[in-house]
Amino acid sequence: MLDRDDPAFAERLLEAGARVVQVRMKDASARELAAAASRAKQVIAGRALLVVNDRLDVALAVGADAVHLGQDDLPLEDARRIAAGRLLIGVSTHDEAQVRAAALGGADYLGFGPVYATGTKANPDPVQGTLGLSRAVAAAGGVPIVAIGGITVARAAEVAAAGAAAACAIAAVNGAEDPVAAGRAIACAFGQDR
């Protein structure tokens, strides 16, 4: 997850085994987000999927692979109509009802959580735990779930065991002394040997 415009860090995420790089800059203007996503796309160059957080317009403008929408962003139905199959659409979910709605609405993947307490959101939703994650995986009906919220290297294996297809680990990787080692350890928990 890129929370800043830093091509060198994007390269380190790839070294760590990231197969998806999400540009998430909550306070950036559309212009700043587009510039950061464009630079990340150049670094990624087909080695990973590029996801733009919140902004379908920016994702389409830079030719991203996906957009990730929150519950207060553009509704999934509208996003699917506008994107017209040009990119994948992920949706953040925080309970089973949201999981079912997004899966039935045609989301390509779901972010679910927070699984654990997190410091990356100002007003986080209630913690769901691995039991909530397991229930979300069942409710998703085969739509892949990316676990979010408080995922650490130590917790990655239990998140994978709960059925998550992947994990988004912002603080555990971006704030690590060795982001490459942290990313590789999390990837290994999900059976990725890169």
> Which neighbouring-strand residues pair with 66?
51, 88
Burial 42-64 (b: 16+ CB within 10 A, else e): ebbeeebbbbbbbbbebbbebeb
Query: HSE on the CB side for 159, CA within 13 Å?
Result: 31
Pairing of strands 49-53, 20-23: parallel
Catalytic residue among 19, 80, 121, 134: 121
| Residue 26 is a catalytic residue | no
Return the number of other C-beta atoms located less than 10 Å from residue 111's C-beta.
25
| Residue 81 is a catalytic residue | no
> Which neighbouring-strand residues pair with 68?
53, 90
Catalytic residue among 12, 41, 55, 92: 92
CA distance 51 to 166: 14
| Residue 24 is a catalytic residue | yes
CA distance 93 to 146: 10
Catalytic residue among 24, 41, 135, 184: 24
Active-site positions read 24, 92, 121
